[in-house]
Amino acid sequence: MGKRETHAARLADLIEDPPRLEAFLLKHSGLPGRRANIELAAALADAVANSGADDERWETLARWAALSYDDAPTNSKREFLPFCAVQAMGALYCASDDDTREEIFSALRAAARSERWRTREAAAFALQRIGERDFPLLREILSSWLENSSRLERRAILAALAHPPMLEGPGGALAAEFALEVAGEVLAGVRKLTKANRSDEEFRGLKKGLEYAISVFVAAAPEEGFRFLRKWAEVDDIDVKKIVAANIRKSRLAKRFPERCAEVGEILSWSSP
């Protein structure tokens, strides 16, 4: 039995008792420390998905998800509560009514903009749960969100899509195609940013996400993906070029497609100012 399954067995009784559940999560959070107990958070989301959320359980999740930075600062035990709650909300989304979906979506957007990086990661994990169950629904959510999203929210969207189980499973080709479309929209947005806009923490987070996520999309759809990289390698924007360069250095591309990566590298070289 893996860690996630072991945690699920222990949560079976606790999930009916929010105070005991909270104490258990805090005790086994792994925080403060370098790594939160991500298996425990996933197991809780599984348990909530299987059992649903009555009024008391929903109120508990909503309260945890809304904890402020002051109440649950980064790397404190209490940070684990929003990390868990946001993922559990994502697990509930597909089976929820329209009003509850709206509340969940609002919570995910807030989490994607959080000061706490783990809470931002939880938003991406929550979106992945939706996509694993119903990718067309996730596509609808992200398409409507992308148009009016902050840079940190766009980073969460990219991180959510950079999920091999969605890109490589049934319907993976369509998912990868959509992911590349989203990446193109985000890169187009980067080109419009002023120099001042490119110096803040939000942009650094988005750029880091782009430097990773695109390589995952390309690995899932190499033909379309390398056309995408060649196109953006020619763009006269230093940050876009750095993003493309970072992706072709990722081992998932460099080791599998050395010649194609070299071709993109050549375009970057001769098109650089």
Structural domain harbouring 25: 1-126
Name the E strands within the chain.
none
Same domain, 158 and 122: no
DSSP letter, residue 29: S
The model's confidence at residue 170, banded by pLDDT at 50, 70 and 90, is confident
Same domain, 82 and 143: no
Q: Are 183 and 214 in contact (CB under 8 A)?
A: yes
Same domain, 91 and 208: no
Which tens digits make up the pLDDT trace of 9-65? 888 889 889 999 999 999 999 999 999 999 999 999 999 999 888 889 999 999 999
Last residue of a domain, one of 104, 126, 148: 126
What pLDDT is attached to residue 62?
97
Q: Are 96 and 104 in contact (CB under 8 A)?
A: yes
The model's confidence at residue 272, banded by pLDDT at 50, 70 and 90, is low
Same domain, 152 and 246: yes
The model's confidence at residue 5, banded by pLDDT at 50, 70 and 90, is confident
Q: DSSP labels for 93-158?
A: GGGS-HHHHHHHHHHHHHHHT-SSHHHHHHHHHHHHHHHHH-HHHHHHHHHHHHTT--HHHHHHHH
User: How many domains does the chain contain in total?
Assistant: 2
Same domain, 178 and 117: no
Same domain, 105 and 230: no
Last residue of a domain, one of 76, 95, 126: 126
Which has the higher per-residue pLDDT, 171 or 266?
Answer: 266
Which tens digits make up the pLDDT trace of 230-257? 999 999 999 999 999 999 999 999 999 9
Q: Is the pTM of this model over 0.85?
A: yes
Same domain, 4 and 114: yes
The model's confidence at residue 192, banded by pLDDT at 50, 70 and 90, is very high
Last residue of a domain, one of 92, 110, 126: 126
Amino acid in position 135: F
The helix (H) or strand (E) run that includes residue 238 is helix 238-248
Beta-carbon contacts of 236 under 8 Å, excluding residues fewer than 6 positions away, are 271, 273
Same domain, 154 and 114: no
Average pLDDT, the chain: 95
What pLDDT is attached to residue 7?
87
Which tens digits make up the pLDDT trace of 101-151? 999 999 999 999 999 999 999 999 999 999 999 999 999 999 999 989 999
Same domain, 146 and 271: yes
Same domain, 119 and 141: no
Beta-carbon contacts of 100 under 8 Å, excluding residues fewer than 6 positions away, are 58, 92
Same domain, 89 and 190: no
Same domain, 1 and 108: yes
What pLDDT is attached to residue 51?
87
